[in-house]
C-alpha cells in the first residue's frame, strides 16, 4: 500500500453534506473485476452538470477534497475510495465520515480527516475565495496548514496513523499472529 | 454487566493489544460477485489460499437478470463478473449457489434461509446490508473488498470496538405499521448518521413481537442510520425459525448457548433512544436519503436547508404536497429489506382482487428462489399476475439497478428497498421507500395511500 506521510495539494471544496457512495461511484461501474478504471467515473452523475464544482478549471488537479458531514454514507463499496484515489485525491477533510467508507480509505493509503464543523467551514471558504488554495497535510505531526496562517491539529487513531505512515499490509500484520489464530480455531471446534 | 454485543465481541477475540484494533474471528463469510473479484485477485497475487473455505459461501445477486435465466446474460461485463466469481469459487474451493442453483438469491436472504446465520456468530460480507443477520443475535456487518481479501486469507478481521446504542421500543406496532415503518421511524428520528460509530441493539415489546423476517427488515436498515451493525437478542421465535434449517444444529447444546445471548439486565449502553412504537404510522420517504421521511398522512415538508431544497428539486416535489397526492409510475417489491415470504404475503393480501392502476408498471422480485417457490406453492404469484404485477426471478434487481431493472429518468417508484439516494434505482429515478403493503397499495391506487384504511377483498 502506498504510504501517506506528508502531502501538499490543491483543495477542491464540495459544499454538500451526506455525500453517499452511490454519488461517488454509481452502480453501473461496479461491474469491473479490476481495482482500477474507476477514476474517470468519479461523481459521474454530478459531473454531467457543467456547473458542478469539480468541473471548474480552477480545481483541476485537486488532491484534497473538503466536504460536508457524513461523507461516504451508504453502500460499503470500496470502489468509492478507489475512484477518488484514481481521480487524484489523497486526503478528504470533513466534519464526519461514514464508518465503512473511512475504513476503506485507510486500506487504500487515503487519509480521511475529521475536523470540527467550524474548521471545515473555514477551509471551505478559503478554498472558494482563493484561487489555487492549497493545504499541507502532515500525518507525522498530525497537522493541516495553509500559507495563510491556518494551522490545525487533527486526530487520527495511533494504529491507523502508523500503518499509513509505513504503508503496511494489513493482511501481513494479521498473519504475524497465525499461532493465535490456530489456537482460537483449536479451542472452538 | 455486559451487553449482547459485548458477549459477541468478547467470545471472538483472537488477539487484543493496547493501541491496536482487536483481531476478531469470523464465523461466516458471505460473498457475492461485485465485491469479491479484486479480493480473490489479491489472494492469487500474494500466493495465499482461502483459509476456511468451509466457512465461506457465495451467491450471485447484484448483477443477475430477473428474467429468463436460461438465456445468456446480455451485459457482457456483468456476465464476466459472474463468471469470475464462478472461477474463483471453483479455484479456491468455496461453495457457490450459482445462478441456476435452487438456493440462489440475495445473499442476506439465503444466509438465514439455509440456517447459515445463527445466534452468537460473527458474520461479514462485502455489502453494507450485512447488518440484516444481526436479527439472529449475531454480530454482522458490512466490509469493503480489501477486508473481504483479509477475511479470505486469515478468517479474521482487525476491528476497533464500536460504541453501543440501545433502541428501546415502547408499546406495540399498530395494525398496518410494519417493521419497515419502525426502521424508517427510527432513522427519521435519529438521522442517517445518528448511529455512526455504534452498534444498535433493538429491544422492547414491538421488537419482541416481530417475526424473524420482521427483525431482519429492522436490522437490515441499521446501516441507513449509520450504525456499524444492528442486533436483536435471540429467543424462542429465533429458535423456532432455525429448527430444521439445513446448516443449523438442532442440538439442545446449541440452543442452550443461544439462550445466554442477551444483554444483562444491568447492562449499560453508551446511548439510548426511546421509540414510542404505538405512535408510529406507515411512512413514506419524500427526499433523497432515508432520513427524509414523513408519515403517509402528512405532507412534503418545507425545505429546512439547502440539502432539502436540492432533494425536493431532484424529486420534483413541491413543499406541502399531501403525500397521498403523489402519483407513481413504478412499484418495486423486492430487495434484502423486504422480499421474504411474509413480505410477499402482506403485499398479495393488499392486491388480491384488484388491478394495478393503468399508469403504473409493477414488479415483484422474490428475495430468493426458495421464497419464489414458497410463494408459488401458496398461489401468491397468481394473485400478483392477476393484479398486473410482473413476477420475476430472485436477485437485488431494482434496489440498485445494476441489472436491467432500472428506473428511467423522472420515473417515480414506490419501493420496498432501503435507499432513495439520487440515481440509486436509475439515473434521474425518483425513489420513495415504503413497506410492502404500502408499495402494493400505491400500485393499485396509482398514488400513495394509507394502508391502514385499505379495503381488503
CA gap A125, A127 in Å, rounded: 5
B158 in contact with chain A, both atoms CB, cutoff 8 A: yes
Closest-CA residue of A relative to B153 is: A171
Which of B32, B79, B34, B80 is closest to B56 using CA atoms? B32
| Cross-chain residue pair A30–B401, CB shorter than 8 Å | no
Give Dmax (Cα) for chain A.
Answer: 62
A107 in contact with chain B, both atoms CB, cutoff 8 A: yes
B34 in contact with chain A, both atoms CB, cutoff 8 A: yes
Helix, strand, or coil (residue B85): helix
Q: How confident is the model at residue A38, as a pLDDT?
A: 97
Question: Which of residues 61 through 120 in chain B touch A, CB cutoff 8 A?
Answer: 62-63, 75, 77-78, 80-81, 84
Q: What is the DSSP letter of B408?
A: P
Closest-CA residue of B relative to A30 is: B34
Q: Are B117 and B231 in contact (CB under 8 A)?
A: no
A177 in contact with chain B, both atoms CB, cutoff 8 A: yes
A2 in contact with chain B, both atoms CB, cutoff 8 A: no
| Distances in whole angstroms, Cα of residue B445 to Cα of each of A53, B213, B339, B449 | 41, 27, 21, 7
How does DSSP assign chain A, residue by residue? -----EEEEEEEEE--SS-BHHHHS-GGGTT-SSS-S-GGGTTHHHHTSTTSGGGSGGGTT--EEEE-SSBTBS---THHHHHHHHHT--EEEES-B-HHHHHHHHTTT-EEEE--HHHHHHHHHHHHHSTT-EEEEETTTTEEE-TTS-EEE----HHHHHHHHHT--HHHHHHTTHHHHHHHHHTT-
B53 in contact with chain A, both atoms CB, cutoff 8 A: no
Dihedral sign for Cα B129, B131, B134, B138, please. positive
Question: Which of residues 416 through 445 in chain B touch A, CB cutoff 8 A?
Answer: 419, 421-424, 427
Quote the minimal CA–CA distance from A100 to chain B in Å: 7
Q: What is the mean pLDDT of chain B?
A: 97
| Cross-chain residue pair B424–A171, CB shorter than 8 Å | no
B244 in contact with chain A, both atoms CB, cutoff 8 A: no
Q: How confident is the model at residue B334, as a pLDDT?
A: 98
Q: Are B134 and B128 in contact (CB under 8 A)?
A: no
Residues of chain B predicted below pLDDT 50 = none
H/E/C letters for each residue in B34-48?
CCCHHHHHHHHHHCC
CA gap B53, B48 in Å, rounded: 13
CA gap B329, B360 in Å, rounded: 5
Residues of chain A predicted below pLDDT 50 = none
| Cross-chain residue pair B62–A30, CB shorter than 8 Å | yes
When CB atoms are compared, the residue of B34, B144, B192 closest to A73 is B192
Q: How confident is the model at residue B163, as a pLDDT?
A: 98
State the angle between helix axes of B436-445 and B341-351 in degrees (0 to 180), rounded to the nearest 10: 30
Q: Are B205 and B172 in contact (CB under 8 A)?
A: yes
Q: How confident is the model at residue A189, as a pLDDT?
A: 77
| Beta bridge partners of residue B327, listed in sequence order | B447
State phi, psi for B182 to the nearest 5 degrees.
-60, -45
Q: How confident is the model at residue B419, as a pLDDT?
A: 97
| Cross-chain residue pair B81–A20, CB shorter than 8 Å | no
Closest-CA residue of A relative to B306 is: A16
B146 in contact with chain A, both atoms CB, cutoff 8 A: yes
Amino acid at each position: 500500500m502506498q504510504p501517506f506521510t506528508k502531502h501538499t495539494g490543491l483543495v477542491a471544496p464540495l459544499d454538500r453534506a451526506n455525500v453517499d457512495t452511490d454519488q461517488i461511484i454509481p452502480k453501473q461501474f461496479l461491474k469491473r473485476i479490476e481495482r482500477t478504471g474507476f477514476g474517470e467515473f468519479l461523481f459521474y452523475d454530478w459531473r454531467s452538470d457543467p456547473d458542478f464544482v469539480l468541473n471548474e478549471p480552477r480545481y483541476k488537479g485537486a488532491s484534497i477534497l473538503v466536504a460536508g458531514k457524513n461523507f461516504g454514507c451508504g453502500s460499503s463499496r470500496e470502489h468509492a475510495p478507489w475512484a477518488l484515489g484514481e481521480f487524484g485525491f489523497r486526503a478528504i477533510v470533513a466534519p464526519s465520515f461514514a464508518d465503512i467508507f473511512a475504513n476503506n480509505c485507510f486500506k487504500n493509503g487515503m487519509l480521511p480527516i475529521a475536523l470540527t464543523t467550524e474548521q471545515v467551514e473555514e477551509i471551505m471558504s478559503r478554498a472558494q475565495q482563493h484561487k489555487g488554495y492549497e493545504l499541507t497535510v502532515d500525518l507525522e505531526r498530525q497537522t493541516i496548514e495553509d500559507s495563510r496562517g491556518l494551522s490545525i491539529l487533527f486526530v487520527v487513531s495511533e494504529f491507523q496513523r502508523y500503518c499509513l505512515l509505513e504503508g503496511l499490509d494489513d493482511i501481513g500484520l494479521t498473519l504475524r499472529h497465525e499461532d493465535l489464530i490456530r489456537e482460537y480455531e483449536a479451542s472452538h471446534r | 454487566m455486559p451487553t449482547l454485543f459485548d458477549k459477541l465481541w468478547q467470545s471472538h477475540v483472537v488477539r487484543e493489544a493496547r493501541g491496536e484494533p482487536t483481531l476478531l474471528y469470523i464465523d461466516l463469510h458471505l460473498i457475492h460477485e461485485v465485491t469479491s473479484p479484486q479480493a480473490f485477485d489479491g489472494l492469487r497475487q500474494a500466493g495465499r489460499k482461502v483459509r476456511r473455505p468451509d466457512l465461506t459461501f457465495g451467491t450471485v445477486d447484484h448483477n443477475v437478470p430477473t428474467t429468463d435465466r436460461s438465456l445468456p446474460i446480455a451485459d457482457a461485463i456483468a456476465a464476466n463478473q459472474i463468471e469470475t466469481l464462478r472461477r474463483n469459487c471453483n479455484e479456491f474451493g468455496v461453495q457457490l449457489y450459482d445462478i441456476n442453483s435452487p438456493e440462489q438469491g440475495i445473499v442476506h436472504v439465503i444466509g438465514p434461509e439455509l440456517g447459515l446465520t445463527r445466534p452468537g456468530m460473527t458474520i461479514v460480507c462485502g455489502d453494507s446490508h450485512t447488518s440484516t443477520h444481526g436479527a439472529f443475535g449475531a454480530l454482522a456487518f458490512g466490509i469493503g473488498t480489501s477486508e473481504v481479501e483479509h477475511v479470505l486469507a486469515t478468517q479474521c478481521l482487525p476491528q476497533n470496538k464500536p460504541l453501543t446504542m440501545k433502541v428501546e421500543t415502547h408499546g406495540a406496532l399498530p395494525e398496518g405499521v410494519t417493521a419497515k415503518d419502525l426502521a424508517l421511524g427510527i432513522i427519521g428520528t435519529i438521522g442517517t448518521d445518528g448511529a455512526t460509530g455504534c452498534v444498535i441493539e433493538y429491544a422492547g415489546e414491538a421488537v419482541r413481537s416481530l417475526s424473524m423476517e420482521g427483525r431482519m427488515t429492522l436490522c437490515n436498515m441499521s446501516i441507513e442510520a449509520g450504525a456499524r451493525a444492528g442486533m436483536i437478542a435471540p429467543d424462542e421465535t429465533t429458535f423456532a425459525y432455525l429448527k430444521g434449517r439445513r446448516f443449523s444444529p438442532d442440538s439442545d447444546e446449541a440452543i442452550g448457548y443461544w439462550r445466554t445471548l442477551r444483554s444483562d439486565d444491568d447492562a449499560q449502553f453508551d446511548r439510548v433512544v426511546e421509540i414510542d412504537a404505538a405512535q408510529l404510522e406507515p411512512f413514506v420517504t419524500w427526499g433523497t436519503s432515508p432520513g427524509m421521511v414523513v408519515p403517509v398522512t402528512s405532507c412534503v415538508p418545507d425545505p429546512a436547508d439547502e440539502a432539502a431544497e436540492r432533494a425536493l428539486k431532484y424529486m420534483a416535489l413541491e413543499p406541502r404536497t399531501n403525500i397521498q397526492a403523489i402519483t407513481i409510475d413504478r412499484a418495486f417489491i423486492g430487495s434484502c429489506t423486504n422480499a421474504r415470504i411474509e413480505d410477499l404475503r402482506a403485499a398479495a393480501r393488499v392486491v388480491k382482487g384488484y388491478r394495478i392502476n393503468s399508469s403504473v408498471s409493477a414488479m415483484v422480485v422474490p428475495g430468493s428462489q426458495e421464497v419464489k417457490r414458497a410463494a408459488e406453492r401458496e398461489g401468491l404469484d397468481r394473485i400478483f399476475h392477476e393484479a398486473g404485477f410482473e413476477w420475476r426471478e430472485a436477485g437485488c434487481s431494482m434496489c440498485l439497478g445494476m441489472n436491467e431493472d432500472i428506473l428511467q429518468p423522472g420515473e417515480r417508484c414506490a419501493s420496498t428497498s432501503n435507499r432513495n439516494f439520487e440515481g440509486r434505482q436509475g439515473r434521474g429515478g425518483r425513489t420513495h421507500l415504503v413497506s410492502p403493503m404500502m408499495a402494493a397499495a400505491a400500485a393499485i391506487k396509482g398514488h400513495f395511500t394509507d394502508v391502514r384504511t385499505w379495503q381488503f377483498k
